[in-house]
Structure 1
Amino acid sequence: MVRTIDYQVYTEMETDPQAMEEPATWKTKGVPAKPHFPVRPLYVVLAAAALFGIVIVCLFLSKSSEMAAETRLLRAEQAKVQENYNSSAIKSMEAEIEQTQSKASDMSTQMRKLQREVSRVSLQVRLLQMGGGDKSFNLHEWETKVRNETANSNWSDLSGHQYYFSSNRLSWTSARDTCTSMSSYLAVVTTEQEQDFIISKMRERSWVGLSDLEEESVWKWTTGEPVEQSFWESGEPNNEFDEDCGEIKENGKLNDIPCNLRRRFVCEKDNAGAQ
């Protein structure tokens, strides 16, 4: 027995338009269909978010740069203020130290005077105890002789001139007057030899005969001679604190400072005057 296949059935199935247009559901039976979302609006949202993020980053970087610049400016201003404050504080401390040294020097001078007075009184007492001692002895003349010999021993010679180096500290005008009372004047430094000699003898920075008291910024020696610029310290004279009088520093350079400060001083005179 020969079986025959009904080709008409398959032909109709293959040529059915509805069957061709609609997918067969028998293959996916029981499997839920995937939901379909619109893709283009999602891309727009992502692009807008990225753009917004870029704008935020740019603004942040811009503000960070501005803040960094302001921070550097503030630090520079702070450093400048700190430097000025330190300079003023140092100047103030130096002035206080000089005042303290001046007071200590004054006290030391007063103590020496007191000691001399005690010695004088003690000597008088001993003379009285001895019954008057030598009638021809004059205490005042003896003290004057000792004082003159001591003063003369403090003078040092150089090239026909003599120099006196004080142990007490005075203002510039008082130092000038003291030199005048000893028939001398505040030292005038006009040669390197004189400069080297003075700094080898003095113990600390000292007054010399230099000022611009007669005319501001016109510096002269008390003898009327002009001042060689090479003798000035670098950057001096600067008249920073109303500085009208001159000192010689330990390195031999000249410096202008206020006249009311107390310094040791150097007097000068020629040998004829010393004799």
Structure 2
Amino acid sequence: MPFILAGCANYGHKHVASHQSIKEQRCVVTKVVLSELKLMLFGQNISSAMASDICLSAGGVIAYIYSAELNNRVVELLEQANFNSNLYPGAMINLTDVGKESKWLWRSGRPVSYSNWPVSEPNGGEGANCAGIELSRDRHENGWWNDISCAGGYDAYPAVMCSIPSNQWVTVCQ
């Protein structure tokens, strides 16, 4: 719940020339929850359950990608990572069609408003019910989404993109 910051001229008056009106300023401090993206990288491809546990242990969840800007940020993090050359460079995101084939939803049940599937995807059918963002091996077309196996193994990624909330206090004066 927001509260008034005592040192912020709470209901105080600015002293101005007598011909100007007196302006009252009210300030509040409020808690804002921001999310930080963290790439968790492993030496082997991981399952959806493992990815979820990893993000939970870091205090977050598998990342939801709601915009092109966020997708581009994930690509930047992937490009900075040092992937094992034997593993395909990509990271799991929080998207699934496990409830109904070809009906992709965020794991929260929220519908997808932004996506970055190439024309050929998703194409894995019932064997690929999770999704990830990948880098192309030649780094030419980075950031496309791919449907992958939720079970891990060959058709999965060695990384998960976690969204970890961080509470910050912000002072707002009006």
TM-score using structure 2 length: 0.59
TM-aligned CA distance change 1:193 to 1:162, over 3 Å: same
Q: 1:205 aligns with which of 90, 93, 107?
A: 90
Contact preservation (8 Å) 1:187, 1:208: yes
How far did 1:224 drift? 2.6
Q: Partner amino acid for 2:107?
A: T
Aligned to 1:255: 146
Aligned to 2:59: 183
Q: 2:50 aligns with which of 157, 174, 184?
A: 174
Aligned counterparts of 1:229 and 1:267: Cα–Cα separation in 2: 18
Q: Does residue 69 of structure 2 align to residue 193 of structure 1?
A: yes
Q: Partner amino acid for 1:244?
A: N
Aligned to 2:37: 163
CA deviation vs aligned residue, 1:12-38 (integer Å, no higher than 9, x gap): xxxxxxxxxxxxxxxxxxxxxxxxxxx
Aligned counterparts of 1:192 and 1:231: Cα–Cα separation in 2: 8
Q: Partner amino acid for 1:254?
A: W
Aligned counterparts of 2:77 and 2:126: Cα–Cα separation in 1: 29
Aligned to 1:33: none
Q: Partner amino acid for 2:106?
A: W
Q: How many residues align?
A: 115
RMSD, matched Cα = 2.2
Q: Partner amino acid for 2:35?
A: H
TM-aligned CA distance change 1:201 to 1:223, over 3 Å: same
CA deviation vs aligned residue, 1:59-84 (integer Å, no higher than 9, x gap): xxxxxxxxxxxxxxxxxxxxxxxxxx
Further displaced range: 245-254 or 233-242: 233-242
TM-score using structure 1 length: 0.38
CA deviation vs aligned residue, 1:91-136 (integer Å, no higher than 9, x gap): xxxxxxxxxxxxxxxxxxxxxxxxxxxxxxxxxxxxxxxxxxxxxx
Contact preservation (8 Å) 1:242, 1:258: yes
Q: Which one scores higher on RCO, CA 8 angstroms, separation ≥ 6?
A: 2
Which segments of 5 or more consecutive residues in structure 2 lack a partner in the other structure? 1-32, 82-88, 136-141, 169-174
Percent identical among aligned pairs is: 25
TM-aligned CA distance change 1:229 to 1:196, over 3 Å: closer
How far did 1:240 drift? 4.3
Q: Does residue 121 of structure 2 align to residue 236 of structure 1?
A: yes
TM-aligned CA distance change 1:184 to 1:230, over 3 Å: closer
Which segments of 5 or more consecutive residues in structure 1 lack a partner in the other structure? 1-158
User: Which structure's residues are more often helix, by fraction?
Assistant: 1
Contact preservation (8 Å) 1:241, 1:257: no
Where 1:271 maps in the other structure, the secondary structure is strand
User: Which structure's residues are more often strand, by fraction?
Assistant: 2
Deviating beyond 6 angstroms after TM superposition, the runs of 4 or more aligned structure 1 residues are none
